[in-house]
Amino acid sequence: MVTFIHTWSHFPLAGLRARSLDGELARTVEREPARTLGSSWGVALAVGLLVISWPTSGRAWPAQRRGWSRPGNLGIVASRFGSARSVLVRPGLLRRFYHMPRQYLPGEYRLPAVLRDRPGMWNGVADSVLQRRIQRDRIVRITVNHGGSSVSLRLYFADGASAAFKPEQSFIQSVPRKEIAAYLVNRLLGFARVPPATYRVITVRELFSKLESARWKRRWIRKSIRADGHGRLAGEVSWWIPKIAHIPLEKWTFRKRWHQWIKAYKRLPRRHYRMSAQISVLLVFDFLINNMDRLSGWNVCGTPDWGRLYFMDNTMSFFAQPKGTKTARTGLERVQRFSRRLFRNLKKMSESRLRAELSAYVDAPWPLLTDREIEMLMARRDYVLRYMHQMIARYGWQRTMVYP
């Protein structure tokens, strides 16, 4: 098959639109950044000389033998700058300038142990066991967690365990009940990335008697927390992860790289498979719970070797918007490669199953989610499924469902 290409003046190499001679439009995809060729006259001359020197009679194009000429397999960015000119090139030539997409078969990669999530288990221990410990164990001392603009404390227990404690407070970006709700949604989706979380009630007197902090910090905490009339302070406790590292997904130098990994039409290097799979799930999860704070800075953490992402700090989420905030929706729309497990569990997720999970916390000081928040959560679930089906229809199952 000979490929017909329109070129324009003053454009980077991505300013090309590919059509087969029978009029079928090739799929539109993004290009690799910062790769230009100068003026279109230079491109036309170089390509023309190559085409003239290539014997075409009585032989098939190499691109056909490689399978690139199948409908939809050839993709380059379409953009218009100036008037169009036309040249003929063979499809194999484009491989020199573009990273062509690669089709991943479901069994191509053996799933690493780090990606084998077991919902209801955390590091081999049942979530219920850890929740019982952080909810009932005796507190021996309390310290302040540094970083962030809200009140976040660390509770040390008599048995040596620790927990992160976020009390009821005046900051709108920190609503403790939403962290517990995010933990439950994470389990419904078949993952174990949000640390086990539950509620706990302590007294203000106990808090300040065991708090180790500077005087000005104590005054700030006393002013920020919201205790009831009996001096009791409700909050959310999460199992403490002893060793974590910040993973700078929000940094542009790293963001422009992982943006390419989750595109269906880009080549996915083997060494980035594990990280891209987790980023894909994280962005879908953040849209589902409508978390607009993930990429605002220092909110993405994982193991020190970057092998596993943790979905922590979800207290600024579950806003009542059927299509999510612009930030969360933008993150979702960057994803074109998805987890098959996530896809299956999203289809199984229903309002009745969600309410059954929430009913286990009927004794909590507050309802974990309001009826309006549940309704909007299910609306976003439907939005995600429609988007996934659109990507499957556009790029095919093998190019979109590439993660376990």
- Identity of the amino acid at 106: P
Better-scored residue on pLDDT, 140 or 71: 140
Percent over 70 (pLDDT), the chain: 72
The helix (H) or strand (E) run that includes residue 356 is helix 351-358
Lowest mean pLDDT among 95-99, 220-224, 315-319: 95-99
pLDDT reported for residue 112: 54
Q: Strand 301-302 relative to strand 197-203: parallel, antiparallel, unpaired? A: unpaired
- Which of 311, 68, 280, 270 lies closest to 182 in space, CA to CA? 311
pLDDT of residue 116: 72
| 37-47 core/surface letters (b: 16 or more CB in 10 A; e: else) | beebeebbeeb
Quote the CA–CA distance of 380 and 400 in Å, as a whole number.
Answer: 20
Pairing of strands 85-89, 3-7: antiparallel
pLDDT digits (tens, 9 = 90+) for 148-191: 778 999 999 999 999 999 999 998 888 999 999 999 999 999 99
**pLDDT value, residue 17:** 35
34 confidence band (pLDDT: 50, 70, 90): very low
Residue 79, pLDDT above cutoff 50: no
Q: Once rounded to an integer, what is the mean pLDDT over residues 242-256?
A: 91
- The separation between the first and the last C-alpha atoms of the chain, rounded to the nearest angstrom, is 35
CA 320 to chain CA mean position, Å: 20
Please tell me the predicted confidence (pLDDT) of residue 113: 55
335: pLDDT strictly greater than 70: yes
pLDDT band at 46 (very low <50, low <70, confident <90, very high): low
Q: What is the spatial distance between Cα 154 and Cα 148, in angstroms, rounded to a whole number?
A: 14
Q: What is the DSSP string of 380-397?
A: HHHHHHHHHHHHHHHH-H
pLDDT at residue 248 tops 60: yes
Q: Closest Cα to residue 177, out of 293, 322, 314?
A: 314
pLDDT of residue 370: 95
Question: Which residue did the predictor score with more confidence, 185 or 34?
Answer: 185
Instruction: Indicate if the pLDDT at residue 200 is higher than 90.
Output: yes
Reduce the DSSP state of residue 137 to 3 states and report it: coil
- Threshold 0.85, pTM exceeds: no
Q: What angle do CA 288, 189, 372 make, to 5 degrees?
A: 40
User: 3-class SS at 248?
Assistant: coil
Region 64-74: mean pLDDT is: 34
User: Per DSSP, what are the bridge partners of residue 199?
Assistant: 236
Average pLDDT over residues 6-31: 33
- What does the pLDDT average to over 46-73? 39
Name the nearest CA neighbour of 87 among 31, 47, 27. 47
pLDDT in the model for residue 260:
94
pLDDT of residue 205 exceeding 80, the answer is yes
3-class SS string, 51-95: HHHCCCCCCCCHHHHHCCCCCCCCECCCCCCCCCEEEEECHHHHH
pLDDT classification of 296: cutoffs 50, 70, 90? confident
The pLDDT assigned to 45 comes to 54
Convert the pLDDT of each residue in 301-327 to its tens digit. 999 999 899 999 999 999 999 999 999
At 6, is the secondary structure helix, strand, or coil? Answer: strand
Which whole number is the average pLDDT over 110-136?
83
CA–CA distance, 398 with 358 (Å, rounded to integer): 36
Written as six digits, the tokens of 75 are: 């993709």
Residue 37's pLDDT band (cuts 50, 70, 90): very low
Overall average pLDDT of the 13-36 stretch: 33
Task: Give 299's pLDDT tier (boundaries 50, 70, 90).
Answer: confident
CB atoms within 10 A of CB 352: 7
pLDDT of residue 171: 85
**pLDDT over 90 at 376, yes or no:** yes
Distance CA 69, CA 61 (A): 9
Instruction: Give the residue, 27 or 327, on which the prediction is more confident.
Output: 327
Mean of per-residue pLDDT scores for the chain: 78
Distance (Å, whole) CA 347 – CA 344: 5
Taking phi over 0 as left and psi of -120 to 50 as alpha, with beta for the rest, 38 belongs to left
CB of 1 closer than 8 Å to CB of 18? no
- Which tokens belong to 382? 């439907």
The closest of 274, 268, 171, 260 to 221, measured between CA atoms, is: 171
Please give the structure tokens belonging to residue 127: 């979530």
- Please give the domain boundaries of the chain with CATH numbers for all domains: 3-96 (no CATH), 121-239 (3.30.200), 244-400 (1.10.1070)
